[in-house]
Amino acid sequence: MSKGLITSQRAAEVLAFLEEVGPSTEEALIIAFGPKTQKALKHLQRAGYAFPIQREGVEFWTAGDKAFDMKSQLSYSWFCARLLESGGRVIDGIAVFPRGQAFKIEVDGDRVFTGQYAFFFEDLIRKPLPECVKRT
């Protein structure tokens, strides 16, 4: 089945995020891309690039069908959303912070580690990234 055109810059950015980070909740995507994210997701769904899936009562948006650990993926996707919100980015599993520091991202369940820093899922869903930083 052929896929449709992506005619929205926001939709293209959301798709790139889903391809880099993997399944993400709509709430995390809204943190990363703003209030018009729902429209971008519908655009991607109609064009055949992304779709919602349910895992253990949680709805994720995904661009693929790879298996994943739910708790780790939730933590990772929320960390990446907060990183993007703060002006950083993710490139090949590396967190690039707004000031240019770059660290490999490691995830252990509800904890995300980058360099000497740790971030906890419960903080990431409630607060901006700078308020979530803990030294390891």
Express each pLDDT in 109-126 by its tens digit.
Answer: 999 999 999 999 999 999
Residue 19 counted as domain residue? yes
Residue 3 in domain: no
Domain for residue 1, yes or no? no
Cβ-based burial of 71 (10 A; exposed 0-12, middle 13-18, buried ≥19): middle
**Entry pTM:** 0.94
Q: Helix, strand or coil for residue 42?
A: helix
The tokens for 75 are 């933590």
- Give the chain's mean pLDDT: 95
pLDDT, one tens digit per residue, over 9-23 is 999 999 999 999 999
2 domain residue, yes or no: no
Has residue 23 been placed in a domain? yes
Residues 6+ apart with CB under 8 A from 34: 10
Helix (H) or strand (E) holding 62: strand 58-62
Q: Per the structure, how many domains does the chain have?
A: 1
* Domain interval for residue 105: 9-135
pLDDT > 90 fraction of the chain, expressed in percent and rounded? 92
SS3 126: coil
